[in-house]
A and B are shown apart, each in its own frame.
Chain A
Amino acid sequence: MIGAGHAGLAVSRGLTERGLDHVVLERGEVANSWRHERWDSLRLLTPNWQSRLPGFAYDGPDPDGFMTMPEVVAFVARYASVSCAPVRTRTAVTAVRPADGGYDVVTDQGPLRARSVVIASGACNVATKPGLHTAVPAAIAQVTALDYRNPAQLPDGGVLVVGAAATGVQLADELRRAGRRVTLSVGEHVRMPRLYRGRDVLWWMDASGVWNQRYDEIDDLGRARRLPSPQLVGTPERRTLDLNALGDAGVEIVGRLSAIRDGKALFSGALKNQFALADLKLNRLLDAFDAWAAANPRAVGDAAASERCEPTRAPEKSRLSIDLTTGEITSIVWATGFRPDYRWLEVPVLDAKGYLRHEGGVVDAPGLYAIGLPVLRRRKSSFIHGAEDDARDIAEHLDGYLATARTPTIQVS
């Protein structure tokens, strides 16, 4: 097992229950990314009651609340402890190569040989930013969502936040609340209200079965896996953080950043269609919730009446360009997504874009598995509780693989 985050630990627990000898290699500490690669104010966007892993669940006093990062770290660390997970911390994997009967796993603490390897090293190792970042004038500070910690880290002045998935809207909101002039560049996005009919929208995703939709039931799986995260934030007051809320707070919304030319950032004029696409998609989702609710009155209980969100308010005219040389903008925050880092993986299982080729976590090489990637086996796969069902499936498949795979007749070491 490579990685002692929630996903790796969930599979580890499944392997332990099946009596399969294994080790969890962790470059740092348990829940390392949650400890070291998140901004200060971040909370989970899933409510506490959804924080559950195989044989383990949140049992605190605030089921509708959202965990801070220290709380997530404590949650995952406690899971490792109660699961008696065989974790080797401070053991960084530097290479995995095919070898006779399995894989050679090279670490900075020495080599291992494994019949099977599970990649649980995360989906967000590297912050991606568009190639045009190289054309940004040198006077402007650039940070990615992985580097960002808090508003004080950025130089005084206006901030351009690029990207309007969960990360982008949260950082734009935090910076605006810190008194910054904020411009948010918005491309394709997924709009969601925090509450729908009085319940958390993720309750609906879960209860109605949308989140359980399997990877092999999805029409365009590649697209589903690339979908931006929903515009949600976890706050004690359970507020909605859509573009209307950001506009009301004084954030200027502009189109997708499409070029930087002669020191000017140029934005797409297709913003209204991005709003239309997101609003139509949201309404289809809410229609699906309502249809499910009508068919399952007992599951829905006392939920409030059906409602619809106000359409995203389009500015009369969004700015198409901002001169980056005038001092109006002093920093750019790239909230343009993340990707996994597989530089250590010396098995030919990556596609042309550098992503793992896998069928529901069963990687395209014997005995190699993955867990914790977007829509790995279900729409919920990349969320903490998404590891629950996925980990069971992967542990079961791995068990079957080890039972049937040819074992080397002689082990020479």
Chain B
Amino acid sequence: MATSVNNGVNVDALLAAREALKGAPAAANFTWRATCKWQNGTHSETTVQGFHGLGEEQKHKTEFSFSADHPEIFASEDKGATPVELVLVGLASCLTAGVAAVAQNRGIQLRSVESKLEGSMNLYGILGIDADVRNGYDDIKVKFIIDADATPAEIEAIVAQSQKRSAVFDIVTNPTNVSVEVESKRTKTA
């Protein structure tokens, strides 16, 4: 198709990987990791670097670090984004990567891709005021503003396909089993 289209996504490599993984199901099992350390108050620093995939340990080129905190109206020091904002970061970046990959695969040149995300939440949940109000977002709205060499229907189809194949969109829209274990480094002696 349009060989001049370049969104910076190596679709040939992705398609080759898809074919290769079809014949090697175990290599398709990935484990992603993050390591978090409490700083002070509601401030924490989380780093990511190592992960497992293609049957062996892998590594990002460098370690990436993320600060999370809460704003001053929560009586915090505001040293980072709130964790719920980081969820929006994950959703936005996942959908955007998908838009680029799908557009490349469909031979559509992107000019600009911007998105605005809004998650609404009632604090009665996390504050324990009303048991009928959930802790998390009750609604998330994503608006994409895209300039591309394509019809509006083609652009809508790219965004729809991106959602269909997005890991974070799936994580946010479907339940996931989460197990939390605790290891005590020091225990009070009675």
Contacts and interface: CB of A to CB of B under 8 A. Distances in A.
A74 interface: no
A276 B157 CA distance: 8
Nearest to B134: A320
Given A258-B175, A270-B163, A280 B156 contact: yes
Contacts of B144: none
B175 A261 contact: yes
B172 A280 contact: no
Contacts of A259: 174-175
A273 B175 contact: no
A403 B3 CA distance: 47
B160 A273 contact: yes
A324 to B, nearest CB: 15
Interface in B169-185: 169-170, 172-175
B13 interface: no
Contacts of A256: 174
Interface in A188-230: 188
Contacts of B175: 258-259, 261, 266
Contact of B172 (A188, A255, A269): A269
Nearest to B158: A280
Contact of B173 (A270, A277, A280): A270
A106 B169 CA distance: 50
B160 A269 contact: no
Interface string A328-367: 0000000000000000000000001000000000000000
A268 interface: yes
B59 interface: no
Contact of A255 (B156, B157, B160, B173): B173
Interface string B145-165: 000000001001100110110
B160 A268 contact: no
A255 B169 CA distance: 14
Contacts of A283: 153
A135 to B, nearest CB: 12
Interface string A167-192: 00000000000000000000010000
A270 B169 contact: yes
A313 interface: no
A245 B189 CA distance: 67
A276 B158 CA distance: 11
A317 B156 contact: no
B139 interface: yes
Given A277-B164, A317-B139, A269 B173 contact: yes
Interface residues of A, number: 18
A276 to B, nearest CB: 5
Given A283-B153, A317-B139, A276 B160 contact: yes
Contacts of B139: 317
Contact of B153 (A258, A261, A268, A280): A280
A271 to B, nearest CB: 9
Interface in A254-292: 255-256, 258-259, 261, 266, 268-270, 273, 276-277, 280, 283-284
A276 B156 contact: yes
A280 B174 CA distance: 23
Nearest to A266: B175
Contacts of A280: 153, 156-157, 160
Contacts of B173: 255, 268-270
Nearest to A267: B174
A284 B153 CA distance: 9
A256 B169 CA distance: 14
Contacts of B163: 270, 273
Q: For B25, B157, B170, B174, which residue has the most chain A Cβ atoms within 10 angstroms?
A: B174
Nearest to B156: A280
Contacts of A258: 174-175
A276 B25 CA distance: 31
Contacts of A188: 164
Contacts of A266: 174-175
B126 to A, nearest CB: 18
B152 to A, nearest CB: 11
Contacts of B157: 280, 284
A277 B174 contact: no
A273 B169 CA distance: 11
A245 B122 CA distance: 34
A385 to B, nearest CB: 31
B121 to A, nearest CB: 14
A268 B174 contact: yes
Contact of A277 (B153, B160, B172): B160
A130 to B, nearest CB: 13
Contacts of A276: 156, 160
7 contacts: A266-B174, A270-B169, A273-B160, A276-B160, A277-B161, A280-B160, A317-B139
Interface of A: 188, 255-256, 258-259, 261, 266, 268-270, 273, 276-277, 280, 283-284, 317, 352
Given A269-B172, A270-B169, A276-B156, 10 more contacts: A188-B164, A255-B173, A256-B174, A258-B174, A268-B174, A269-B173, A273-B160, A277-B160, A277-B161, A277-B164
The 9 closest A-B pairs by CB, nearest first: A269-B173, A258-B174, A270-B173, A273-B163, A259-B175, A276-B160, A277-B160, A266-B175, A280-B157
